[in-house]
Amino acid sequence: MNNYLTPSRRALKDKNIIIGICGGIAAYKTPQLVRLLKKKGADVRVALTESGSRFVSELSLATVSQAQVYRSIFPPAENTGSDFTTHITLGEWADALVIAPATANTLARLAAGFCDDMLATCFITLRPGKPVLVFPAMDGQMYISPSVQRNLATLKAQGAIIIEPESGELASGQCGTGRMPEPEAIAAYIEAALSVTHPSLLRGRSIVITAGPTREKIDDVRFISNYSSGKMGFAIAGAAAGRGANVTLIAGPVNLDTPRGVERIDVESAVQMREVAGNFFRSCDIFIGAAAVADYRPAAVIPGKLKKNNPEIQFTLVKNPDILSDFGFQKQAGQLAVGFALEQDNGPANALKKLEEKNLDLVALNFSDRKTSGFEVDTNMLTLIERGGITTELPLLSKEEAARKLLDAIENICRQT
């Protein structure tokens, strides 16, 4: 099990859960899953895809869930007079959406934003901050195919929690990765996801996050920038929205989808980022500087395209505003400033110096080898340093997991202030 949370045993009590079931052989386990969730006190509704209904009977699911099973977004023919809003109210009703098994086809539909059945529509109408857990289960070769992996990455970037399938014997008779976890394990994942979102201290707080690189124009076709992909800042934004915070993400030029429930403002240069961020300085509760802001910009932008007429050219670079530092010194009591420190040598000492010089409450020290940590990659190794030098070293984690740990630390500071 991904160790991203410690589940609370009572997390399912009185919770409304939608189980989305797609057409995979693992669907035969779902009546048992529904029963288990009901036993733990949850109210369960089933959204069954057309192909899902080939693998598991609607009658079994209706019996164990003690409720109607949903397929189409249209009411059944015999109920033509009934309300045609269930596709919205069901999504609003749910505390979590669990898609198990999730097939390659449904992953593609969800990633593309289709609303062609009840399951896909609930994915869209689910309230921001409510967890979506996706349990892909399919043939091993299908699972590793670029299309499936691309769709999973899209859903993950939108804040869905993707649980890797298990390895073992598959329906094809071959061994590989593709098996859906057993109902008990799925229930534990749901409990874990609901344990964190429910009592979060970030719920309702306004969090502003800068992410990605900035571009500093040389002329109309060239710029100075860096290798930042924005993945860390986007992961923090998605995780914070998942905890119920109102998140504004100020993003430099990146190639990432906006996480679910996040308001995103795109900018290009450090000066633009400072200008937009400044609009939130007074109103936000927490400011997190995750952007790799270019420290310098060309003093003047050359109009048009610079010709290569000269054997050498010289630029004057001028210092950019330090957005995080500006916030650190303007923040009022009750506001928190959180930053990153990208260091090569003397990491802890330099990070602590940044914390003090920018008047931060927390700094996340990292380094960038562009293989395991820092720019571009999917993992990061953070050392969290608080005021007074209180230090927590985290292992190498996925950026999503590192984001959750960072938010745990921020929640801890909120608890103490």
Q: Where on the chain is the footprint of ligand CTP (CB under 6 A)?
A: 210, 270, 289-291, 293, 295, 320, 322-324, 339-342, 354
Ramachandran angles phi, psi of 36, nearest 5°: -60, -45
Neighbour-count burial of 103, counting CB atoms closer than 10 A to its CB (0-12 exposed, 13-18 middle, 19+ buried): buried
Q: Write the CA distances from 289 to 21, 45, 199, 251, 258, integer angstroms.
A: 40, 40, 25, 11, 17
Name which of 29 and 354 has its Cβ closer to ligand CTP. 354
Name which of 191 and 326 has its Cβ closer to ligand CTP. 326
Measure the CA angle with vertex 228, ends 226 and 230; round to 5°: 145
User: What's the token pair of residue 341?
Assistant: 């420190």
Asked whether 251 and 173 are in contact (CB, 8 A), the reply is: no
Name which of 70 and 375 has its Cβ closer to ligand CTP. 375
226 included as an active-site residue: yes
In one-letter notation, the amino acid at residue 404 is: R
**How many Å apart are CA 85 and CA 102, to the nearest integer?**
25
- Supply the Cα-derived Rg of the chain in whole angstroms: 24
User: What's the token pair of residue 285?
Assistant: 């509760």
Identified catalytic residue from 2, 79, 151, 226: 226
Name which of 141 and 359 has its Cβ closer to ligand CTP. 359
**Nearest distance, CB of residue 356 and ligand CTP, angstroms:** 12
Neighbour-count burial of 128, counting CB atoms closer than 10 A to its CB (0-12 exposed, 13-18 middle, 19+ buried): middle
**Nearest distance, CB of residue 413 and ligand CTP, angstroms:** 16
Closest CA to 258 of 171, 350, 334, 157: 157
Name which of 140 and 278 has its Cβ closer to ligand CTP. 278
**How many Å apart are CA 261 and CA 370, to the nearest integer?**
29
**Nearest distance, CB of residue 289 and ligand CTP, angstroms:** 3
Name which of 235 and 293 has its Cβ closer to ligand CTP. 293
Asked whether 385 and 358 are in contact (CB, 8 A), the reply is: no
DSSP 3-state of 262: strand
**Nearest distance, CB of residue 279 and ligand CTP, angstroms:** 15
Asked whether 197 and 213 are in contact (CB, 8 A), the reply is: no
Asked whether 204 and 284 are in contact (CB, 8 A), the reply is: no
Give catalytic residues, as residue numbers. Answer: 226
